[in-house]
Amino acid sequence: MKYKKISLPFDENFISSIQDNTKPTIIVSIFGKSSLASKSCKARFVNDFYDRPIFNSSLVQATSNSKLQSSIECFYDEPGGIIYLHLTGSFDSHSITQNIDELSTEIEEKGFLRVWSSLKYNYACSLLFLFNVSHILVLTNPVPVFDTSYLSYFKALDCSRSKFLNAIKSTLSKIPNVSTSWLENARLCSPRLLFYYETCPNEFKKKKQSNGPCHPGLKKAEHSLEDQIYCILRKRRIVSNISTHSIFAIPANQEYVFMDDSPDQILDWDEFLTNSLINLCNSSSVEIKDRFIDCGLEEDSIEKDFLNKSHNIKKFLFDHIDVAFKKGFDDNIGRNAITIPNYFEAPAFSTWCQVANEMYNLFVMANDLDEEAKIAMETLRSFLDIDTNFSERRCRKVQPIAMAAYQENLPSHYNRNYHDTKVAQALSVFAQHARGPLLDDYIQILVQDCDKFWQSGRQMCETLSLTGNPCTQPLHKGGTVDGPIKEPEQDDNHINRDELLTMEHSSSVMYLSACNCGHKQGTREDPFTIRTANYDFYQIMANDCVCGCLDRINFPVFQPSTQDYRAAQLFAKPPVIAGRKNSAGLLHTPTQMGHTQVLSLGGVFASCHSVDPINEILGEASRNRELPDRQGLTSIELTNMQKNEDTISGNQIVIRVTDTDGDSKEKSLVRQPSTTEYLPGMLHTESPNSLLPQFPSWSLVCLGSSCLYSHNIGLQETQHPGFLNSTAYLLPWDVTVRLEHHPRDRYWNSDKNKINSSPIQRGRKTKGSREFSVKIFIGVEYECPRGHRFMCSAPDKILTTAGNGIVKENGNKVSNSDMPLYFPCPCSSAPLMAQLMRIHVVTPKAPVHVTLNPMVQPDENGGPIFVTGFDAPIELTQMILEYLNLIMFSYVYAGDRGPYLPPKEPSQSQGKLLKGVYSVAEATTENNKLNI
C-alpha cells in the first residue's frame, strides 16, 4: 500500500496517482501552536501512527514552513481512507524565530499592531478553509491549558461563515459530482473539534515508555479540562445544542481532550538525524520525489497492540474516525435533538481534491473574488482586528473635535505659518483622545481636511515684498513683483485662478520715510517693485515738497527710440565691469579724462542773507535747472595709476596740474546704450554695459547755500524732521591739497589772492608746489522704518555731541572707512535696523571740486556692487559760494537674483558703502578732472 504526502493545492498528477479515486475519505485537520523544539511540527502523533517522519523534515528536503505565512501540508492514508491536513506558519515558535529579522523590519515600517493583525488574518483564512473541508479538527497546544486566544478566531469564523455561504455554494456548483446536500449545507458536516496537548502535568507523566495504564488522576484532569472548555464555549455562544448552527461541534458522548503522558523526548537535532538515518536504512521501499514523498511499508508493520493501550492518542483519535466512517457525527443535544436531521458526508477522494483546490483559492489565495466575497473577507478582518476597530471608532469620534479646534477663532484669511500653528493645535487635541494603530492614518486625514478648509477661500497670498514681508491679501491674481521672488508654490488644490479677485499686493506694513531732500516725512506702503521703492514714492513726495524745485543731477536712464521697447532677457550671468582694486581689495573705478559729471550750483543764490531760503527757492522756481543727462556709460578699464593721477596720503591730496589743450585732448570711447531694451533691475557692476534702467534709483540735490547749516546748531528740526537728539550734525573734514607745480591755468592765477587770504585755506609755497587746506562738512545719515534719523561718526558709532552742543569728532573715519549699510537704531530696546539713506556734503569755497563716487555692496560675502551709472565720479561744483548738497541712496537693492533683504538682527550680514566716496578735484574752466 502507499502513503503519500503533498502540499496544497493539489496537482493533477497527485490525484491521478491514487488508485481508487472514488473511495470515501475522512479528513482530519491538525492546527494550533507548537514548541520551538518541535520545529513547527504539531502532528508528531501522526508520525507515531505510521512509524515514519511524515510531517517532519527529511534529510533531503529543507524544514517545511520556514515562512511566516500559513501553509497546509497533506498526507493521504490510501488504505485507511484518511486525509491528514497539517497547518503550519504564523503561530509556530520555530517559524517566528526563523523570520525574526524580516518580521522586525516590517514592524518598524508598519507598526506592531498592523503586522500582528495581518498575521492573524492570514491564519484565520487558513482556518476557514480547514473548517469547511474537514470532518475532524485537532487543536494542539504544547501545555495542557486551554488557549483562550482561539476564542476570537472561533467567534470571527462563526460570524463570517454566513457571509461566505453564497460564495461557497457558487464555487461548489461548478464542480462535478458534488451532491445536492453538500451544496445546500456548503460543508461536509459540522466538524468535531478535539484538543490534543503534547504534555500533561508532571505528576501524571510516565517515568519511561511503556504500554501500562495511565495515572489515575490523568483521566480526571482530562474530564475536568473538558468541562472547562465546554463551559467557556457555551458562554461565548460558539457552540450550541444544534451542531448545524455552529462553526464546529463538541462530541456529546465521547472524550475530546487528550493529554500525552509519554516521558519527555530528547528533541536534539543530532539525535533526530541519527534516528532518521537509521529509519531510512531499515526501510528499502522509501522513494523520494520532487513534489511529494512516497513511503511504503506493510500493513502488519503497524504495531498490533497499539490500539490495545489503555491511554494513547491513536485510540483517542480513531474512535472518532470510526464513528465518522460508520454512521457520521450527530452531536445535537437537548429536547429537539431528534427532530432536527443531521447532515454528514464522506466524499470521494477525487471530488474532495477538486473542492479543496477551489476552496483553497477562495479562502487562502483569495483569487478572483467577487464583490460579495470581498465584503465577507473584510467582515472577517473586522472581527479579528479588534484593536483596529476600536482605533477607527475612536479616531472617527475625535476627528470632528480636532477639526473644531482648528476652526476656532479663525480670521477671514491667514498665511501658511498661522495655518500650521492651527494644524498643530488640532493635532494636539486629536492626540489627547485618539488611540490605536490607525492614529497615524487619521492624522493624515485630519491634516488634509485642515488644508482643504484653508484652501477653500481662506488662503493668504503670501507673495514676499522687497523687504521680506508677505502679502496679507486673500489669494488673488494680479500684482507685480520684481526679481525672482514669485508667489509661493501653492498646494495641489486645483484652485481656479480665473475665479480669484484681481488686486495689487499689500503687506499692510507701513513705513515712515523722508523725501529726497529730507525736508518732509511721509508714510509709505511696503514696496513690491523696485520702481515703487526707489522712484515712485519720492516722486509723490516731491509734489508736496521743495524737492522738485531744487537743483539736481539726472542719472543715466533708458531713453527709448521706439514704442516697441522691452526688458532685456538676462539668461546668463552678465559680464563683470572691469575695475581696479584698492589697497583694501575693494573695487575702485578709475576716472576717465574728460568725462566728469558736473553739478554747477553757482548763481542759484545771490546772497545767503535771506530770512527763509526755502521760501525764496519756492518763490523762484524758475531758477531750477537740470543739466543734460549723461547718455553714455563707458566700460571702465583696469589700469594703473599713471600721470595726471591724484595721490592721497592720509588727509592730504596731491594734485598734479598740467596744461590742457582742447585740440590735443584724448577723446575717450563712449559706448552708446541700447534704445530698444532696458535693464529690468538696478544698475550694478555685473550689469551688461549697453543697458540702462527705466528709472533712477539714486538722487542728488543741492539744498542751497551753506548758510543753511550751522556747525554750532546742526541741521534744524524744522528743515530736517525725525533726527534723534544730538545726532543732526555734520562732521568737519580738513583736507590738505598740495599742487605739484604752479598751474598754467588762468583760473588758478585769477584766484591766487583768494587762496592766500582765505582763513581756512592758508597755504605755503614750496619749490614747484603749493599747499593749502580746505574744510568740508560731511554726514552719513541713517533712517529706520519708524522714521528716526541719525548720523554716524564712525562705522560702529552714532554721532554724539558734548553738553554744550559741540562736535568733537571729525570726518576722517567716515571718509576713509567702509560704512555699514545697516546700523541698529537706538529708538527701541529691541533695535530696528536703520538703513544708510543719505550723504550730506557742504562744499568749500576754494578752486577745487568735491567729487562723490558712491558704491554699495549689500552682500558682504560677495555679489554685485551697485553704482550710480556714471563713468566717473560726480563733481559738486560752485563758482562763488559754499553749498549744502545731499545724495539720496536707494531704498531697496535688488540684483538679477532678487532683492537683498535687510537683516533682522545686528549680528547678521549688514552690507557696506565702500570707502572712496569723497574726493577733491581741480576746478578748471575747461571742465577737466584730474584723477585722484
Q: What is the reported pLDDT for 495?
A: 62
Cβ neighbours of 623 (radius 10 Å):
14
d(CA 396, CA 441): 11
**By C-alpha distance, which of 440, 444, 403 is closest to 425?**
403
552 contact partners, CB below 8 Å, separation of at least 6: 626, 699, 700, 701, 702
The pLDDT of residue 266 is 53
Q: What pLDDT does residue 419 have?
A: 95
Ranges 57-66, 256-265, 811-820, most confident: 811-820
Q: What is the mean pLDDT of residues 736-754?
A: 55
Provide the pLDDT for residue 454. 93
Q: Which of 699, 732, 639 is nearest to 931 (CA)?
A: 639
Give 547-563 pLDDT, tens digit per residue.
888 888 889 999 998 88
User: What's the whole-number mean pLDDT along residues 324-345?
Assistant: 83
pLDDT of residue 906: 80
Per-residue pLDDT at 457: 85
Element (H, E) at 615: helix 613-619
- The values of phi and psi at residue 691, to 5°, are -115, 140
Least confident of 350-354, 546-550, 637-641, 907-911: 637-641
pTM of this prediction?
0.60
User: 782 pLDDT band (50/70/90 cuts)?
Assistant: very high
Residue-level pLDDT at 385:
85
* Mean residue pLDDT across the chain: 78
Lowest mean pLDDT among 226-235, 337-346, 377-386, 758-767: 758-767
pLDDT tens digits for range 94-125: 888 888 888 888 888 888 888 888 889 999 99
Q: Which of 112-121, 264-273, 504-513, 884-893 has the lowest mean pLDDT?
A: 264-273
Q: 683-703 pLDDT, tens per residue?
A: 998 888 888 999 999 999 998
Q: Is the pLDDT of residue 28 over 70?
A: yes
* Helix, coil or strand: residue 417: helix
**Average confidence (pLDDT) over 830-835:** 85
Residue scoring higher pLDDT (868 or 607): 868
Q: How far apart are CA 285 and CA 2, in angstroms?
A: 10
- Grid coordinates representing 120? 492573524
Q: Alpha helix locations (H) across 51-187?
A: 93-98, 100-110, 112-133, 150-161, 165-172, 180-185
Is residue 298 scored above 80 in pLDDT?
A: no
Q: How far apart are CA 529 and CA 144, in angstroms?
A: 84
pLDDT tens for each residue of 61-83: 444 445 567 888 888 888 888 99
Q: pLDDT above 70 covers what percent of the chain? A: 76
Residue 497: which pLDDT band, with cuts at 50, 70 and 90?
low
DSSP class of 634: P
The more confident residue out of 876 and 399 is: 399
Mean pLDDT along residues 238-245: 88
Q: Please report the DSSP string for 280-342 in residue order.
A: HHH-S-EEE-SS-EEE---GGGS-TTSTTSSS-HHHHHHHHHHHHHHT------STTTTTS--
Q: Name the nearest CA neighbour of 604 among 882, 370, 188.
A: 882
| Range name among 163-177, 298-312, 550-564 with the lowest pLDDT average | 298-312
In the predicted model, is pLDDT for residue 644 greater than 70? no
Which of 6-15, 42-51, 294-303, 814-823 shows the lowest per-residue confidence on average (mean pLDDT)?
294-303
The helices-and-strands tally (H runs, E runs) of the chain is: 22, 36
Q: Lowest mean pLDDT: which of 375-384, 387-396, 624-633, 823-832?
A: 624-633
- Structural domains in the chain, sorted by start: 3-384 (3.40.50), 386-455 (no CATH), 514-557+590-621+644-660+668-922 (no CATH)
Q: Which of 465-469, 712-716, 878-882 has the lowest mean pLDDT?
A: 878-882
pLDDT in tens, 421-431: 999 999 999 99
Confidence check: pLDDT of 653 > 70 = no
Q: What is the pLDDT of residue 594?
A: 34
Place 290 in a pLDDT band, splitting at 50, 70 and 90.
very low
Comparing CA positions, the residue from 828, 748, 839 lying closest to residue 786 is: 828
Length of the chain: 932
Across 167-176, 592-601, 643-652, 800-809, least confident range = 592-601
Assign 230 a pLDDT band (cuts: 50, 70, 90). Answer: very high
**Mean pLDDT value of segment 849-856:** 91
* Comparison of pLDDT for 744 and 310, the residue scoring more: 310
What share of the chain in percent tops pLDDT 90?
A: 30
| Across 327-352, average pLDDT | 84
Instruction: Work out whether the CA dihedral 302, 307, 312, 313 comes out positive or negative.
Output: positive
Nine cell digits for residue 681: 533691475
Q: Is the pLDDT reported for residue 747 higher than 50?
A: no
